[in-house]
Structure 1
Amino acid sequence: MGYAVVLGEALVDLLDAEHDGEPVYRQAVGGGPLNVSVAIARLGGDVQFVGSLGDDALAGRIRAFLTGAGVGVRGAVTVPAPTALAVATFAGPEPEFRFYGEPRSYALLGPDDLDVALVEGADVLYCGSIVLLDPPVLAAARRAWAVAGGLRVFDPNVRPSLLTAPGALDALRGVVAEFAAAAHLVKLSAADARVLYPDEPVEGVAAYLRELGASTVVVTLGADGALVAAGDDVVRVPAPKVDAVDATGAGDSVMGALVAELLAAGEPADPIGWRERVAFALRVAGLVCESPGGATAMPTRAAVATRFAVKGGAPA
């Protein structure tokens, strides 16, 4: 088994909580790509996180959390900036994030900071999320995408609060098209699809991304499971029934599980293989939803197998 490189943001989430009857914010290490890297490691994959981290105590906690989870930080660089914060509010099925901190610590990785040898040697490269809205990191991601010798996976992980500038959404659509064109796997949520392509059903979005060049497209549908477009097939995979308490990091865990499976067994040979991989990833996400927190809720393979014991050929 080789290793994966996850290029993207790491930051600190501030989550709504309560203490002694008073509203407070609870700190949690976060960022979609960080969550992905932790999910890969917890599922037994060898993974390196690549990104820029601040120079303060919060950044030290991020590094310690990553290494404690078994994620390598060889490609992480320290930059002279306070750690960016993401304030999460929960008004709908998915948390909404607002981002604070200038300059943003996660957005300062440039192409010259990239450990090219690390990327070239990876069996899987992940790029995506909000760092692609910042020119320095976008340039670094483009360089990584160009030199990658293994499988390339992409997740736009759209955050509408960062798309308020004129032309921002159109620019992001262009970036999505660019990365999807050379991707072996694109994973996005139904919410991402609605923001990017508001007039298209999810099946149409998946077909469009495949027409651009993506080999396989997975669209997560929350409690309704996921849509998988591979080969000539477009199928829906149901999600397991769970007692959800917190969906934070669920989509990231799907991505992490799919990358962990790519590391363990390579690309599936046929659409049936992809459906089986996605079914496993949805079990991982279901278990994440049963625990509070994002990165801290990422499970091991043993925990997934225990929670969803297979009886008679179907998850119990």
Structure 2
Amino acid sequence: MPQPSDSPARITVVGDALIDELRDPTGSREFVGGAALNVAVGLALLGEDATLVAMLGDDEPAERIRAFLDDYRVRLVASPSEHGTSRAVSIRTDGEPRYEFNEAAQRRRLRFDDATRAALDEADLVVVSCYPFDDDEQVDLLLDAIRDPERRLVVDGNPRSGMLHDRDRFLVSFERVAARSLLVKVGDEDAELLLGAPLEEFVRRLRSGDAASGPAVLATAGRRGAALHHAGIDVRADIVELPGPVVDTMGAGDATLSAIVHHIAVHGVPTSAPEWSEALGEAMTIAAATVRHEGALLRTGIVPPRVGS
């Protein structure tokens, strides 16, 4: 379990990297994105030593992603894709995205070679986001490659209907990985997609084991704020009001997760309600700042990154 530290934590993020094409009544624009990439870049902006493990093609979009990661000092361990680089077309209505994914995104797979395993083994924390949990082989490879997941693994299922091949299998595997994790994030949209049920029911399922030793559960509910449940502690936080309108909610969940992981890296895992409330308040401030800009790039608001970052 991470201990309080003044030095940057080594954090490896596993998941997706893609080109996000935003379409709305004003036209079409493209951003480098993907949930895992957003978290890795967010952690780098908060002062951590971030590595991203993701799939890329051999094409121009991949070069844009590589250059973007270089700009934010995020190391990349790339798995090859025979179908090119993933792309998501985001059609926005009132700031809320609806996604369509290309073949590469729908057939995403990671190669657990020596470079990938080294990045996972050397990390103080491993964050998994938007992973193909409905692929049994990929799930087994992931768990086999992460030592001490109960002390190091943070997981966000982040299912997307356009990339989901087997909902029931995804749910079973996600819950299996979550049960062995330090912290798990779920959202109200995840609960609706995977369970057809309210977020509170999904949280109860994830907490159905040993409450004292099970993972911390970060539950995000959009405009209703977020909650954190851990070892008998339950804290909630509302959306933070900041100047300016909400422009784009795409990166809110990723920013929230980045902020919580950053807090754990700096201070260790909270052990009391006031400590979790502080962590959640920081995360809500960062999320509120992020949604006031187009694209999913994390904005720190008034919460400072590590000194010297």
Common fold by TM > 0.5: yes
Residues in 1 aligned to 2:199 and 2:126: alpha-carbon distance in whole angstroms: 25
* Aligned-partner SS, 2:21: strand
Q: By how many angstroms is 1:211 displaced?
A: 2.2
2:189 corresponds, among 191, 194, 202, to 191
Note if 1:12 corresponds to 2:9.
no
Which ranges of structure 2 fall in alignment gaps of 5 or more residues? 1-6, 305-309
Alignment TM-score, normalising by the size of structure 2: 0.86
AA aligned opposite 1:193: A
Q: Residues 202-229 of structure 1, C-alpha deviation per residue, up to 9 Å, x if partnerless?
A: 3332232122464210111112210211
The CA RMSD measured in Å over matched residues stands at 2.4
Residues in 2 aligned to 1:136 and 1:78: alpha-carbon distance in whole angstroms: 17
Q: Which moved more, 1:266-275 or 1:178-187?
A: 266-275
The 1:87/1:110 distance shift into structure 2, 3 A limit, reads same
Counting only pairs closer than 5 Å after superposition, residues 96-107 of structure 1 correspond to structure 2 as 96-102=98-104, 104=105, 107=108
Q: By how many angstroms is 1:259 displaced?
A: 1.2
* Equivalent in the alignment of 1:26: 29
Residues in 2 aligned to 1:156 and 1:34: alpha-carbon distance in whole angstroms: 14
Residues in 1 aligned to 2:51 and 2:18: alpha-carbon distance in whole angstroms: 16
1:177 corresponds, among 175, 178, 199, to 175
* Equivalent in the alignment of 2:217: 217
| 8 A contact 1:231–1:271 mirrored in 2 | no
Which ranges of structure 1 fall in alignment gaps of 5 or more residues? 307-316
AA aligned opposite 1:69: Y
The 1:182/1:259 distance shift into structure 2, 3 A limit, reads same
Residues in 2 aligned to 1:101 and 1:162: alpha-carbon distance in whole angstroms: 9
The 1:24/1:134 distance shift into structure 2, 3 A limit, reads farther
| 8 A contact 1:120–1:149 mirrored in 2 | no
Q: Tell me how many residue pairs correspond in the alignment.
A: 292
* Aligned-partner SS, 1:157: coil
2:262 corresponds, among 260, 263, 273, to 260
Residues in 2 aligned to 1:206 and 1:29: alpha-carbon distance in whole angstroms: 31
* Aligned-partner SS, 2:206: helix
Q: Give the structure, 1 or 2, with the largest relative contact order (CA under 8 Å, sep 6 or more).
A: 2
| 8 A contact 2:133–2:139 mirrored in 1 | yes
| 8 A contact 1:190–1:220 mirrored in 2 | yes
Q: By how many angstroms is 1:92 displaced?
A: 6.2
* Equivalent in the alignment of 1:312: none
The 1:7/1:151 distance shift into structure 2, 3 A limit, reads same
Q: By how many angstroms is 1:76 displaced?
A: 2.3
Residues in 2 aligned to 1:158 and 1:42: alpha-carbon distance in whole angstroms: 25
Write out the 4+ residue segments of structure 1 that deviate beyond 6 Å after TM superposition. none
Note if 1:151 corresponds to 2:149.
no
Residues in 2 aligned to 1:63 and 1:147: alpha-carbon distance in whole angstroms: 30
Matched-pair identity in %:
30
| 8 A contact 2:46–2:262 mirrored in 1 | yes
Q: By how many angstroms is 1:248 displaced?
A: 1.1
| 8 A contact 1:51–1:106 mirrored in 2 | no
